[in-house]
Structure 1
Amino acid sequence: MSPQTTSERPAIEPLPPIDRARQVTEALASYIDRASLQAGDRLPAERELMAALNVGRSTIREAIRQFQALGVIESRKGSGTYLLKPVTTATVHMPLSFDAAHLRDVLLQTLEVRRGLECEANMVAARRRTADDLVVIEAKLNEMERVHIAKGTSGPEDLAFHLAIYDATHNPLFKQLLEQMRGAFERFWEEPFDRSDFARRSFPFHRTLFNAIAAGDPETARIETLKILAVVEEDIKEMSK
């Protein structure tokens, strides 16, 4: 066989352009780590980032948008950009997304996944919770009950109670996944459903869930979690008739 001529060989592909936005996100993650920034801390201003990284405004804003989509930072009009959760260059991001065109189906599908994750998280919390964890969880529950009795609803307080339980698992993935899922899930109660009383009937089961976790009883924690989510499912079906 005769050797290939130059014209017969495959062309050498050009190198892809450098992804400047990706480089900026990595540089920001490195800065956040080295500066030991915590949730609530303010990031440097756009101008400062542009000068330090020698990139244009559009590249900085693209990197900021990527972090916003991951729920890592938020921009507050007239105030600046703030860190929602600490990150490093080793952080693995797993954003969640879905198409809300068929809202009822999406919510029920999301609930199926939540049911598995939330039952497991609450069972793990019942096994691993410390005395300090229980103090925090009960304080969040007491506040939730106070607000619920006063106003008939307790959205943010309910979330704070569940997040404290996820912390008690001592597995950060439970909190990160369920916090993203609950946030996407619960924004629909305000629009289009306009239901501030959504899942109100699940209120008593939060105390029994806490009691199960405090007793170190994973199976009862699973049962009480299923009671809460059964009410959520019933309300989704009722609202979307």
Structure 2
Amino acid sequence: MSHPFFRQVQSKKVSDFILEQLEEAIILKEFLSNEQLPSERELAAAFNCSRLALREALSTLETQGLIEKRLGAKGGTFVLPVTQRSNTRTKEDIESSWQDLLEIFEYRLMVEPEAARLAADRILPRDLQQLEQLLHQSQSESIMREEFRSIDVKFHLLIGAASQNAYIANAIRKIRTSINPALDLMPYSDEVKLNTINHHKQLVEAFIKKDSRLAKETMYAHISGTSLAIAKRISQQNHL
């Protein structure tokens, strides 16, 4: 007889743990498109696992279209653009994840503004310096889409860490892992780039002033606009 408070035990293989971490790192752009992953020997040592378990995880990532193995003198395992997988999603895939995305957007609107409020009070000088460096990097005229998106993710994750609340920081990481594939479907233009930079500037200014109210309001405005844009984009695809 099932019980409403209990979940059935499910065995989890070592390769599943490796898969989750590598998939998350790729989705969060900690490994960029066309970047080579460390060697199997290095990855096995990092995860403290067998080559067999690692290869099983890599095989799944390859099936998912997140990595590919290249032969030759400059061969190895390379990351593929996440957008390549996102753009192959069917209407049914979008419909099945639609409600989940709406709930994640609602959750994000509660978590990230609060993270910004706490960060304004608690941010360390080194974290503030890192935010300023990321902001500077994002303003380069030659910056490409993937690098800009990677900087954006780092910026938000760093604010989560600056809140000095491990639960909030972890929540933001999980949120970004869930919504990044949707963000990768969004158009990239000078207008989008400028809008993001302006909001990030305002957040940095709020942290410098230690203005927790301004930080919270700015973050809310920033991510609510993004959420609405994503919702509109996916809704349009949903009705194709």
Common topology (TM > 0.5): yes
Does the CA-based 8 Å contact 2:182-2:230 persist in structure 1?
A: no
Structure 1 residue runs of 5 or longer lacking an equivalent are 1-18, 26-38, 69-73, 81-98
How well do the aligned residues superpose, as a CA RMSD in angstroms? 4.3
Alignment pair present for 1:182 and 2:176: yes
1:21 matches 2:16? no
Structure 2: distance between partners of 1:75 and 1:236: 25
Listed as ranges, the matches of 1:121-140 within 5 Å are 121-140=115-134
Q: Note closer, same or farther for the CA distance 1:141–1:46 as it changes in structure 2 (3 Å cut).
A: closer
8 Å CA contact 1:119–1:225 kept in 2: the answer is yes
Q: Residue 161 of structure 1 corresponds to which residue in structure 2?
A: 155
Query: Does residue 216 of the first structure (1) align with residue 210 of the second (2)?
Result: yes
TM-superposed CA distance for 1:167, in Å, is: 2.3
Q: Deviations over 1:43-71 (max 9, x none)?
A: 648999xxx97x9x5x67668899x8xxx
Partner of residue 205 from structure 1, selected from 199, 202, 214: 199
- Indicate whether 1:108 and 2:102 are aligned: yes
C-alpha distance in 2 between matches for 1:232 and 1:151: 20
Q: Deviations over 1:185-233 (max 9, x none)?
A: 1212444x6x234955343121111111121111111000111022113
Cα distance between partner residues in 2 of 1:47 and 1:152: 31
Q: Which amino acid aligns with 1:196?
A: Y
Higher mean Cα deviation, 128-137 or 152-161?
A: 152-161
**Residue type at the aligned position of 2:114:** E
CA spacing shift, 1:174–1:147, aligned 2, 3 Å:
farther
Runs of 4+ residues deviating >4 angstroms? 22-25, 39-48, 59-66, 150-153, 197-200
Contact preservation (8 Å) 1:21, 1:62: no
Residues 139 and 22 of structure 1: CA distance in aligned 2, closer, same or farther (over 3 Å): closer
**Helix, strand or coil at the partner of 2:163:** coil
**Larger helix fraction of residues:** 2
For 2:200 and 2:214, the matched residues in 1 are separated by: 12
Q: Counterpart in 2 of 1:234?
A: 228
Identical residues among aligned pairs (%)? 19
Task: Please report how far the alpha carbon of residue 117 of structure 1 lies from its aligned counterpart in structure 2 after TM superposition.
Answer: 1.0
Contact conserved, 1:21 with 1:63, CA < 8 A, in 2? no
Cα 1:63/1:146, change in 2 over 3 Å: closer
Task: Tell me the secondary structure at the aligned position of residue 146 of structure 1.
Answer: coil
Q: TM-score, normalised by structure 1?
A: 0.56
- Residue 231 of structure 1 aligns with an amino acid whose one-letter code is G
What residue number does 2:34 align with?
none
Does structure 1 retain, via aligned residues, the 8 Å contact 2:119–2:159?
yes
